[in-house]
Structure 1
Amino acid sequence: MSKQTATLFIQCLVDSLRPEIGDAMVHILERLGVPMHYPPEQTCCGQPAFNSGYRAEATKAARRFIDIFEDSEIIVCPSGSCVHMVRHHYPELFKDEPGMLVRARRVAARTYEFTEYLVDVLGVTDPGEELGSRFNGTVTYHDSCHLARGLGIRRQPRQLLGNIPGLTLVEMDESDRCCGFGGTFSVKYPEISTAMVDDKVKTILETGADVVSGCDVSCLMNIAGRLSRIGSPVRALHIAELLAGTGV
């Protein structure tokens, strides 16, 4: 049976600062024979505006997103926070517009986080065999807030990481404790954010891992910045990079 075309929803930070994550995602989907489409006109999903209380601006961004993506068979994104925005907050934004509410719910139902798509839709169970994945080293995993609490996605990333040949997965204490990024939170409250990421880095270092991985680049950039400032050799890599074997 032919696979549905995956329309790629590439998060702003990936597009602007870590495009290699998008490349890794494409590399993996190519290995799986998934037909892909990338709408070049896509822009922000509106999450930063929504989280900061600018609902009118968030609604404008959401309306544009729906216009661009609503004809997609399936939408795949390498970011739990953006998927959470589309699934849970788009219907909320359009609750008083019946026509748009129907469209928002339709798009929300077709939008998947990357590891969720690999495991729950495509049925990937053996990354070594199916994706050619391999990593020699120890990895610990950070549960980002929107992914773990908002979407309930905890099993899928661990299932993938735990089955990469050569990779030893070690759990950190309080893996779902916030790293302190929180989008504009880290800008508005830098002292609190720094204290939070210091706590996160401490638990990462206690594992002795070579790499900390996750599914949200915003968290990984925040953690990587703090690791760099203290001179730690531990790297922060998106799970797509580990699965694709890029950047390792």
Structure 2
Amino acid sequence: MKDYYIVRNEDIDVEYDVDGFYMEEVLAGSYDGGIRNYKCFLKANSETRPQLYQNETVVYIFGKGRGYVTNSQEAHNITELSFYVPDFDHDSFTIHATDDMEFIMSVVEMNQWDREKFEHSHIHLPFFRKYTDGQIYDQDCKGMNTTSWLIIGAGQLGRVLMGVVRAVGEGTDEKGHPAVAQWNYSVGKSEFNLSIDHQAPIVQKGGDFSFVPAGPDHSLVADSGNEVFYVWYEHYTRERDFMITLAKDEKLIDVLKH
């Protein structure tokens, strides 16, 4: 890999419509696995009723600003980094902004295999979760004072996995994972060093959105006194890597070689 895939928040030319909303696709063409990501901006005291999708999974990551999301049955306050997955086109919903808001909307195509696995088991939709309500976990590639929260685990929403990492002066230094591609949405006052495939690092700040293809080593580490605070968003690139039934004494690493 020779280049970085990153869109800097400061480079997005926001042009609000009459309803105080703006949306722009980001990192288009960087991944051919059926995911399209959009950076969205909603002015304070405005609201938007997003398009509904019948056959695609849609995930919203609310990274900046307070507000709330409502559908016909419930309402959820957005007071911190939060996540929302609507129930396809079964119920419309509205996003209301109390402050100026910024968020990612990710549209995930579902093939026949995805739909079959989803029907077998999935998180209940619509789904809403604040990041601090996620399950805290530890991982050897992260610093001792780095906190990680799992938001969407393997098998809960097709091939999508999602979590949050936060620390000061450290972060994540991870070996490449050939089975999953990864996006990184930095939030808050983040200012950390992103390095992919041992290239010279670049600085990623709050609001920026980057992509790590499946395979290369990567690190997201803050200098002393700086914060690393980001959502990691992964997608299994091949269905067979997601759920494999192993025969007796068979090892996963050997199966994935074929």
Q: Looking at secondary structure, tell me which structure has more helix per residue.
A: 1
**Structure 1 length normalisation: TM-score?**
0.27
Between 1 and 2, higher relative CO (CA 8 Å, sep ≥ 6) is seen in: 1
Pick the structure with more strand per residue. 2
